[in-house]
Structure formats: C-alpha cells, structure tokens
Chain A
Amino acid sequence: MSFLAFFFIVVSLLSFVVAQLVLKKAMEFSAKSGLHNSRFISLISIGIALMTISFFLTLGLLQRFDLSYLYPFQGLSVMIITLMAAMMLKEKLNLRLTIGALLITAGIVLVSLS
C-alpha cells in the first residue's frame, strides 16, 4: 500500500469520526438551546461537511481497492469513537463498554477479512 493510499484511508476515517462527534455535540447543544441558534447550525454544517468529505474520499478509495480491504478500517471507527467520546465529550466509559467496543471492532474486521 502506498503512503498516499494510507494517508487517504486515515483522513477519511478521521473525518468520519470527527463528524460523528461534532454531530453529537450539535444535538446535545440543541437539546439545551433549541434548533434556531447559530452555534447549532454551524456545528451541524461542520458535521455534514465532514461526512461529505469522508463519503467522497471513500468513493475514491473504493475505485482503487477492494471493499474487503477498506472495510476493516471502518470497523476501527467503533473503537476510535468510543475512546474519543470518553476523552473529548467526557462520556462515561467502563470496562464493559470498552471490551464490548473492542469485540465489535474485532468482529467487523474478521467479517470483512473472510
């Protein structure tokens, strides 16, 4: 795998993960302050823009690699989102949730490799 391919896989994964966290932040914010405020609108726009970037990068990657090669990286998103939610959104993470996320990640990788 070339450095460029690896770079795009990582950027696509990270933009997807960050998009989810930003959307979560936006929806949390809307629960407090409603939908008609600039903070919510800017957060949700950033989230959707990042999702779009990730979508087109994935399309480009799919044109060059097999789905079974790319999908395991998608599986990693479970672990990364769980950890980032704990670090950045201060969500409570216990051993059970961490092991659960690890097993789901491992399972997705196995399903797509086989």
Chain B
Amino acid sequence: MQNRPSGFGNPWLQLTLSVLCVFVSEFLLKRGATDVAEPDSAFSWTGINGLTSPLVWWAILLIIASFISWLYVLRYIPIAVAYPLSRVVDVLVPLGCWIFLGEFISTLRWCGIALVVIGLALVAKPVAQIEERL
C-alpha cells in the first residue's frame, strides 16, 4: 500500500465506486431486460435481444467502468482484503430490491445479509485502523 494516491485516485474511493457501478448496473440490467423481454421467442434465451434496450447499454458501460476501477484497486490493496469487501454488493442488491422494487426478503435471507455484514466489518476494521495510523 506504498505511495498511495489521495483524492480521486484513492483506492478505497475507487473500490466504493467499483461496487456502486456494479450495484447500479444490476438494476439497469433488470429494468432493461424486462423492458424488451420477449419470452415467447426461443432466441431470447441468449439474452442478445437485451441489447435493444438503452438501459442495458448503460449497464454495460458501468460494468466496464467498474472493471477499470477494480484493476486500479488491485494495484494498491491486497486481494485478500479487496475481494471480500467487494462482495458487499451481494448484500446491497437484495436490499435495493427490497427498497426500490418492493421485493420480499425472507427471515433466512435477512440472516444471510447479517452474516455478510458481520464478515465485512471483520475484514474492514483492521484496514480502518491501519488508515488511522497513516
């Protein structure tokens, strides 16, 4: 983590941006794919007809952006820390579905979300302490 840039180049900011891009792209993909869905056509199984939705193209742009900032993150943060933290998206997506799409979250799913949050806190806390000392 030597010579770590600050400001926009801060790898922790980039990690956050990468996760946010993936998070937003999931919802754009869901909306875009439903908008242009043609469940009767056998061809639609390939998902290629999704490309007719502009939302899907925005999602693709976000996925590329998240990949670039992820590569940047890998340059500065150990992957044993960065990758587990990036999985916060597995909690954000169901929470977003609950908040924005009104989807139902079962008790078991809430337990899973709680486990991930505790795990994330365990991985992130020593990092926060290292940052404080710098």
List chain A positions with a Cβ less than 8 A from chain B. Answer: 20-21, 23-24, 27-28, 30-31, 44, 59, 63, 75, 77-78, 81-82, 85-86, 89, 91-94, 96-97, 99-114
Contacts and interface: CB of A to CB of B under 8 A. Distances in A.
Interface stretch (B15-23, B31-39, B52-60, B108-116): B108-116
Interface residues of B, number: 36
B87 A110 contact: no
Given A23-B74, A101-B119, A101-B123, A107 B112 contact: yes
Contacts of A101: 80, 84, 119, 123
B51 interface: no
B101 to A, nearest CB: 16
A23 B122 contact: no
B122 A113 contact: no
Contact of A104 (B47, B79, B107, B120): B120
B43 interface: no
A49 to B, nearest CB: 14
Given A24-B79, A82-B84, A114-B106, A96 B116 contact: no
Contact of A103 (B74, B75, B79, B116): B116
B24 interface: no
Given A24-B79, A31-B75, A82-B84, A110 B108 contact: yes
